């Protein structure tokens, strides 16, 4: 029988709880967290764990991968598809950004993009 439980991730509970505590503090200011370090340390895994724990506290959320040489249009399309739950026809990045801004203007949102 296969077990479909989430795998146990070792060593991330401390950093995860620190980041969650920082992001869910009483202050109402906007917050940005950077997770830095060499490849293979689990930065993306940590970011995904934090994202999954907190995403339900927001009106909408997106987890995107931008890579080393990101395409602005592709990144905006990815965010739009996740938060607006609809597809836009790829076009000028300003038009996509404007539509996204109009949608997000009145919402509380979380955007996670591991680098």
Tokens of 34: 């950077």
What DSSP character marks residue 109? Answer: E
Q: How confident is the model at residue 113 (pLDDT cuts 50, 70, 90)?
A: low
DSSP 50-89: HHHHHGGGSSEEEE----SS--HHHHHHHHHHHHTSS---
Q: How many residues does the chain have?
A: 115
**What are the residue ranges spanned by the domains of the chain?**
13-112
* Tens-digit pLDDT profile for residues 19-71: 898 888 777 777 778 888 888 888 889 999 999 998 898 888 889 888 778 88
Cα 41 from Cα 82, distance rounded (Å): 27
pLDDT digits (tens, 9 = 90+) for 57-110: 888 888 988 877 888 888 888 888 888 877 777 778 888 888 888 888 888 777
- CA torsion, ordered 18, 20, 22, 25, to nearest 10 deg: -130
């Amino acid at each position: 029988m296969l077990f479909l439980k989430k795998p146990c991730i070792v060593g991330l509970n401390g950093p995860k709880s620190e980041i969650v505590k920082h992001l869910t503090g009483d202050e109402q200011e906007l917050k940005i967290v950077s997770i830095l370090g060499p490849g293979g340390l689990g930065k993306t895994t940590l970011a995904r764990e934090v994202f999954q724990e907190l995403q339900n506290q927001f009106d909408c959320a997106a987890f995107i991968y931008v890579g080393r040489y990101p395409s602005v249009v592709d990144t905006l399309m990815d965010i739009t598809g996740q938060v607006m739950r609809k597809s836009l026809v790829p076009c000028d990045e300003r038009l996509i950004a404007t539509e996204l801004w109009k949608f997000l203007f009145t919402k509380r949102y979380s955007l996670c993009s591991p680098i």
